[in-house]
Amino acid sequence: MGHGIPIVYAEEVREALHERRPVVALESNVITHGLAYPHNAETAHRVEAAVRKSGSVPATICVEDGALRVGMTESDIERFASGTGIPKVSSRDLPVVLARGARGATTVASSLVAAELAGIPFFSSAGLGGVHRGAQSTMDVSSDLIQLTRSKVAVVCAGAKMILDLKLTMEYLETHCVPVVSYGSDDFPAFYCSSSGVRSPHRIDDEDLIARVVANHWAAPAPGSVVITTPPRPEDAVDPAQAEAAITDALAQAERDGVTGQGLTKYLMRAVDRATGGRTAEANMAVLVSTAETGGRMAAAYARHLAAAS
Ligand code: PSU
Ligand code: MN
């Protein structure tokens, strides 16, 4: 642990990394804050199974007893899923929670920090955080985006959450030199909708070519992440007009209730789920699983690329 942050690896993850087999890092904030119990625990297991099915080893990340846990056990997942008051830990919170010897659920941003420390080059989650609607005045931009500019970890996702301003999110990624490639769609997906209405800069339907893109980016000086998007399966996607109507209402409610800052994402997601009678929560779960499966395939393609190059 030369870097000074204690890391506790699951045995399976340690072995896979040692043998240079593909591993996909996963966040835990979606378990504690994204979905309700027991759907969150079930989904976390289905996500891990999807990663395995596509030839990689899952490593769900959290903080416990002041250490990064890389590869949560079944009982860890159950404890986090059913627990209350487990804090959301983003990048700025991570050093504090570690120092206090406390526990917490990692967002995309802090999971990328952990993945890079652990030597895991791939991460998967359904929807990135991004530039919030109205960020022109609130300045609410998710740390997920900033972390993408810093961590050498490729991120496989279904785009960014639809509650965000996806045009501005794409602008941010372009400004900050983060490559975006879209697998299986022309447009940048919007989490549970197939398209954000924003065209992706690059569509690539060949996994091995994507692996070369990642390798090229990381051969350049001071690289960060590569964002690889995959759209929801057609049968899982939500009608964009229905989702948009629910989001508009949720944003108005949040404003009325004065919700801002780190609680906003969860507040909005839950309000949208209620307004759609649970349709978006269903889609959220399905997209987490299908994205993880693609993440596993991408990580495997990258491992093949490394093996062939060595
Ligand atoms: N997925 C969900 N709900 C969530 C999140 C993901 O369905 O709440 C989390 C992720 O952990 C992501 C975080 O990293 O939201 C971004 O939060 P913020 O916008 O506050 O940076
Ligand atoms: Mn925020």
- Cβ burial, residue 114 (10 Å; 0-12/13-18/19+): buried
Q: What is the DSSP letter of 36?
A: -
Q: Judge whether 88 counts as a catalytic residue.
A: no
- Whether residue 295 is predicted with pLDDT greater than 70 in this model: the reply is yes
Non-local CB neighbours of 63 within 8 Å, separated by 6+ positions: 69, 89, 94, 97, 98, 102, 103, 104, 105, 106, 110
Class of the CATH domain delimited by 7-309: alpha beta
Q: Which pLDDT value is given to residue 291?
A: 98
CA distances from 178 to 6, 86, 113, 211, 291 (A): 29, 31, 16, 16, 20
Among residues 48, 88, 116, 161, the one annotated as catalytic is 161
> What is the rounded radius of gyration, in angstroms, for the C-alpha atoms of the chain?
18
**Which amino acid is it at 157?**
C
Amino acid at 181: V
Does the annotation count 161 as an active-site position?
yes
**Ligand 2 center to 112 CA (angstroms):** 17
pLDDT confidence of residue 310? 86
Of 160, 120, 105, 108, nearest to 18 by C-alpha is 120
Mean pLDDT of 175-192: 97
Residue 78 confidence (pLDDT) above 60: yes
CA 272 to chain CA centroid, Å, is 19
Tokens of 259: 């919700």
Whose alpha carbon is nearest atom 17 of ligand 1?
A: 129
Give the confidence band of 221 by pLDDT, cuts at 50, 70, 90.
very high
Beta pairing class for 7-9 and 67-70 = parallel
Distance, in Å, from the CA atom of 299 to the CA atom of 34, rounded to the nearest integer, reads 24
Task: Give residue limits of the domains in the chain.
Answer: 7-309
CB distance 143 to ligand 1 below 6 Å:
yes
For the segment 138-183, what is each residue's pLDDT rounded down to a tens digit? 999 999 999 999 999 999 999 999 999 999 999 999 999 999 999 9
Q: Whose CA is nearest to atom 7 of ligand 1?
A: 34
The answer to whether 291 touches 157, Cβ cutoff 8 Å, is yes
Amino acid 30 reads: V
For residue 273 and ligand 1, the question of a CB distance below 6 A is answered with no
Mean pLDDT of the chain: 96
pLDDT tens readout for residues 24-76? 999 999 999 999 999 999 999 999 999 999 999 999 999 999 999 999 999 99
Query: Residue 3: what pLDDT?
Result: 56
Whether the per-residue pLDDT at 2 is higher than 50: the answer is: no
Task: Count CB neighbours of 306 within 10 A.
Answer: 14
Confidence of residue 297 (pLDDT cuts 50, 70, 90): very high
Ligand showing the shortest atom-to-Cα distance for residue 280 = 1
pLDDT score of 86 more than 50: yes
What pTM, to 2 d.p., does this model score? 0.97
CB 183 within 8 A of CB 229: yes
pLDDT at 134 (0 to 100) = 95
* pLDDT above 90: residue 1: no
Q: State in Å: Cα 21 to ligand 2 middle.
A: 35
Cis amide linkage into residue 38, ω under 30° from 0: yes
E strands in 177-252: 180-182, 227-229
Q: What values do phi and psi take at 178, rounded to 5?
A: -95, 115
Question: What are 50's two structure tokens?
Answer: 């999807």
- d(CA 269, CA 248) in angstroms, rounded, equals 12
